A and B are shown apart, each in its own frame.
Chain A
């Protein structure tokens, strides 16, 4: 988390803004040692990304309410702020001041630890989400693999809260959540592997940089359409979104592993699921939709306008365009997820496992093999 590895900047993309360098240089100008400057720099991007994640969740909750309402020809939240934008804040505030109930027969320690174990890995995964060439907390070498391994911690938290609640619905919900999570992780990882194979790197920055040679046309979605679909289906299943919301199927399991939770502990689950949704959408954008890339490369635009890519103003504009594009793509996918929620009915548990193991896994394996073959056959187009 601490070290920023040197980015293997491809020739196509400029080095972009390096805020850390300028920050530490200005601090060193004040007479601080480089180490202290680095230490002071460290919390800043973390706080920024944490804030971004929270704001992202608030926006997503508001969108979920408004789009759900629109799909059902309702108005949705209207009175809390203009167009109800403050409604998610009101929800959060309500959960914050609500009484924190721990059932008498529940296991208090595990009951408290469960939601934390669900939330922390998700927030930690934001570490690798790039909003620009240097706009991420840390360009760790193992990048996307870190996300896969972190997301595998989540089922433990779910099992823990399911077990600790001492409630049959909670336990069933927790078991279902864990089963779903580990079975959809495999096709997900295989789909990611195909992308990684094409870009020769696990780092998210390199994956995006490799997609931005020719703008829209060089995005991975054209080279990996099957992988894109597999990834999106698995991401929905990992986030427990409809049609895969079996762990909290209210008709069968009351609320699954969340049944006994109230107040802030419930809010942690709620927050976790929405952060996970935003994170998954961001990663789909990063892996398949060219991340921060504008449909027409910004370098070309700068060239046509006769501006140097390294000019400060151009750099600031490029950075802002990158952030806007990443967020825009991610929210497009969030919109799709919300629309899917009101379109598809919930699958049964056997259908879910059938889809995961008998459909997605073979197809993901086939996709991986075909990608490998294509990479050998056409190294130019498939990143040889």
Chain B
């Protein structure tokens, strides 16, 4: 075993442990803020796994999109609505937990079986390395053009939906409650960046 492969193995073990323990923590921890931060850690560890697979572009994209955007937005949402209130105790919580635990364990057994029985082509195809960026671009704009465009349309729809929800003045009635929207809340007219010279 050379130095390079042993380093790789150690890195893989550490990253794998971080992913597994981190995601368990995300699900099981009581404090939602801890869960959100742990989620960020898990995303980072996944990026590390990509890096081990010599897919640096995917790793960087993973960090940019999942850690930099998704996780930050989750944290934003948590911190802006962080009301400390105790949830009402749900009836039969232990049984529910037991049931969901059973379902999860079943899924885990299923996946484990799949992993063991599938004839993996080891070692897989050689990593492209630096050329990966170009290859991803090529595939996105040829083979996967339709899903790519569909995804962008989906994002656009979500964005318009967010604008509609955020800007109450475009609607007559509130989307959530059905009450008439107070027109006085209309966003202030845009004030120019600088003092208008024409007005005395």
Q: Which A residues are within 8 Å of any B CB, using their own CB?
A: 5, 35-36, 39, 110, 140-142, 145-146, 148-150, 152-153, 155-156, 159-160, 162-163, 171, 174-175, 178-179, 182, 185, 202, 351
**In the assembled complex, which residues on chain A have CB atoms less than 8 Å from the CB atom of B79?**
159, 162-163, 171, 174-175
Q: Give the docked Cα–Cα distance between A159 and B79 (Å).
A: 9
Interface residues in B, total, Cβ within 8 A:
27
Question: Looking across the interface, which residue of chain A has its beta carbon closest to that of B57?
Answer: A142
Contact in complex: B3, A110 (CB < 8 Å): no
Q: List 29 A-B contacts (CB under 8 A).
A: A5-B129, A5-B130, A35-B4, A36-B3, A39-B3, A141-B57, A141-B130, A142-B57, A142-B60, A145-B57, A146-B60, A148-B64, A150-B63, A152-B64, A152-B68, A152-B72, A153-B67, A155-B68, A155-B72, A156-B37, A156-B40, A156-B71, A159-B72, A159-B75, A160-B37, A163-B79, A174-B79, A182-B68, A351-B193
Bound-state CA distance A141–B75 (Å) is 31
> Does B2 belong to the interface (CB within 8 Å)?
yes
Which applies to chain A's interface (DSSP): helix, strand, loop or mixed?
Answer: helix
Question: Which B residues, 97 to 146, have Cβ-Cβ distances below 8 Å to chain A?
Answer: 129-130, 132-133
Residues in B with CB closer than 8 Å to A150 are 63
Q: Is B33's CB under 8 angstroms from A149's CB?
A: no
In the complex formed, the residue of A with least CB distance to B188 is A350
**A-facing residues in B54-81 (Cβ within 8 Å):** 56-57, 60-61, 63-64, 67-69, 71-72, 75-76, 79-80
CB distance from B75 to the nearest CB of A (A): 5
Q: Count A-B contacts at CB 8 Å.
A: 74
Q: Does the CB pair B40–A152 fall under 8 Å? A: no
- Once A141-B56, A145-B60, A163-B79 are accepted as A-B contacts, the answer to whether A35 and B2 lie under 8 Å apart by CB is yes
Contact present for B68 and A153 (CB under 8 Å) = yes
Q: Which residues of B contact A142 (CB under 8 A)?
A: 56-57, 60, 133
